[in-house]
């Protein structure tokens, strides 16, 4: 739960009159988390809560469920009819600029339905996105959480090494091994090491399968890994307890003693793009000039475009990392969206440029990056400098 005083200070700094939180049918888990209210409790009627930039919070709850926000330090007002709700809501927000979980740019934040946004606007409010507030209070990683990320990282990197060794040993021993076999090995090792990926399975892809950024092998649909194959493994996990933060990496390898020149060239390009993004962020952050997420993406994209593969870089450069592998903070994105949030202290995110040649191969290199409060920019794990030879 965020402290009301901290939210109010942020509202004043952003020039916003209040954060209007609302829910119906338990759709917005974030609203409950911000207020410190149980998300799972039955919610069959709309409620609203305005955290103003000054003064006490005010909540509107239905007379059918008057205790839905019980325990919240707020002035409680009840409504029964739609007209009563509109009257109370108008008195609460008319003439004010209010932030809501609404965004054209960032779908993960945009959970308030359009009808509710229209209702609030009809009551005389200017509605703006809560995107910056969400990052500040739900998208950043504190020191204790950072330590869980680092601990998970050591385990995940060890398992990554084991997975590639498993492939190498099978090839050298003339044993049959498939993409699915390697995936399931990783899943088993997660469990043994006290890690979880919350039901999402790692990506193990060879050759043309790696040209699909989100290819997932299955028992009935997986290729046998052979000498001469190009292998991509993307794995992510966190420690198996609440509040732990994910670690998410992608590495590539070649089944043989010498990788083909075209494969090495593609890897070198994405590695260069990755490194230039890190350097760009380090330079800007060191000056206190925090870059926008979309600017970081543009750096990687220009590198890949310069080498003639811009059309084959088909996703954003990176995503926020938190208690979910895709967190609520800034994404490095100027392609799929335009993330106008800034890379600020306590932000944790991936940097993962890729090139995907349909029907042939795909390469991606992924690292995790954390901005410390003293403005140190840390790559939190090992950086792959060249293709693994298996």
Q: Are residues 91 and 155 in the same domain?
A: no
Q: Are residues 241 and 341 in the same domain?
A: yes
Q: Which of 130, 160, 179 is the last residue of a domain?
A: 130
Tell me which DSSP letter residue 242 carries: T
User: Tell me: the pLDDT tens digits for 314-353?
Assistant: 999 999 999 999 999 999 999 999 999 999 999 999 999 9
With 0-12 CB in 10 A as exposed, 13-18 as middle and 19+ as buried, what is 342? middle
Please state whether beta strands 18-23 and 97-100 pair in parallel, antiparallel, or not at all (unpaired).
parallel
**Is 135 inside any structural domain?**
no
Q: Are residues 351 and 237 in the same domain?
A: yes
Tell me which DSSP letter residue 332 carries: B
The CATH number of whichever domain residue 53 belongs to comes to 3.40.350.10
Q: Are residues 100 and 183 in the same domain?
A: no
Q: Which of 87, 105, 130 is the last residue of a domain?
A: 130
Helix (H) or strand (E) holding 9, with range, is: helix 4-14
The CATH number of whichever domain residue 293 belongs to comes to 3.90.230.10
d(CA 262, CA 274): 19
Q: Are residues 153 and 14 in the same domain?
A: no
Q: What pLDDT does 271 receive?
A: 98
User: Of all residues in the chain, what percent carry a pLDDT higher than 70?
Assistant: 99
- Phi, psi angle pair for 169, to nearest 5°: -65, -40
Mean pLDDT of the 225-236 span: 98
Q: Are residues 267 and 227 in the same domain?
A: yes
Q: What pTM, to 2 d.p., does this model score? A: 0.95
Q: Are residues 192 and 340 in the same domain?
A: yes
Q: Are residues 95 and 186 in the same domain?
A: no
The number of folded domains in the chain is 2
**Is 188 inside any structural domain?**
yes
Q: Which of 106, 130, 154 is the last residue of a domain?
A: 130
Q: Are residues 28 and 164 in the same domain?
A: no
Q: Enumerate residues 6+ apart whose C-beta is below 8 A from 109.
A: 101, 102, 103, 129, 130, 131, 134, 328
Q: 55-60 contacts: CB < 8 A, separation 24 or more?
A: 57/4, 58/92, 60/85, 60/88, 60/89, 60/92
Q: What pLDDT does 3 receive?
A: 85
Asked if 48 and 127 count as a contact pair (C-beta separation under 8 A), the reply is no
Q: Are residues 124 and 154 in the same domain?
A: no
* Structural domain boundaries, residue 85: 4-130
Judged against a pLDDT cut of 80, whether residue 2 lies above it is answered with no
């Amino acid at each position: 739960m965020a402290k009301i005083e901290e939210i109010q200070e942020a509202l004043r700094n952003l020039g916003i009159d209040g954060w209007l939180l609302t829910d119906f049918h338990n759709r917005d888990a974030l609203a409950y988390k911000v207020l410190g209210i149980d998300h799972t409790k039955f919610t069959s009627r709309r409620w609203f809560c305005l955290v103003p930039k000054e003064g006490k919070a005010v909540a509107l709850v239905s007379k059918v469920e008057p205790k839905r926000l019980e325990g919240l330090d707020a002035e409680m007002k009840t409504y029964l009819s739609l007209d009563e709700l509109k009257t109370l809501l108008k008195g609460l927000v008319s003439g004010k600029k209010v932030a809501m979980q609404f965004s054209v740019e960032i779908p993960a934040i945009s959970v308030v339905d359009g009808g509710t946004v229209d209702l609030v606007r009809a009551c005389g409010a200017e509605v703006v996105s809560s995107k910056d507030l969400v990052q500040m209070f739900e998208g950043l990683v504190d020191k204790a959480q950072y330590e869980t990320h680092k601990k998970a990282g050591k385990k995940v990197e060890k398992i990554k090494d084991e997975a590639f060794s498993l492939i190498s040993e099978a090839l050298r021993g003339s044993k049959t091994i498939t993409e699915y076999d390697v995936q399931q090995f990783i899943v088993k090792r997660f469990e043994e090491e006290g890690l979880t990926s919350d039901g999402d399975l790692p990506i193990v892809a060879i050759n043309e399968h790696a040209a699909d950024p989100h290819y997932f092998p299955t028992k009935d649909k997986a290729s046998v890994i052979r000498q001469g194959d190009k292998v991509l493994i993307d794995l992510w996990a966190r420690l198996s307890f609440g509040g732990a933060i994910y670690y998410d990496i992608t590495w590539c390898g070649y089944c043989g003693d010498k990788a083909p020149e075209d494969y090495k060239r593609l890897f070198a390009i994405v590695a260069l793009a990755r490194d230039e993004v890190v350097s760009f962020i380090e330079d800007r952050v060191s000056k206190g000039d925090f870059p926008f997420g979309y600017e970081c993406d543009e750096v990687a994209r220009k590198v890949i475009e310069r080498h003639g593969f811009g059309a084959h870089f088909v996703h954003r450069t990176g995503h926020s990392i938190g208690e979910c592998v895709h967190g609520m903070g800034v994404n490095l994105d100027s392609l799929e969206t335009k993330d106008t949030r800034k890379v600020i202290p306590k932000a944790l995110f991936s940097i993962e440029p890729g090139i995907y040649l349909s029907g042939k191969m795909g390469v991606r290199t992924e690292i995790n990056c954390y901005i410390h409060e003293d403005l140190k920019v840390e790559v939190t794990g090992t950086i792959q400098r060249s293709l693994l030879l298996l």
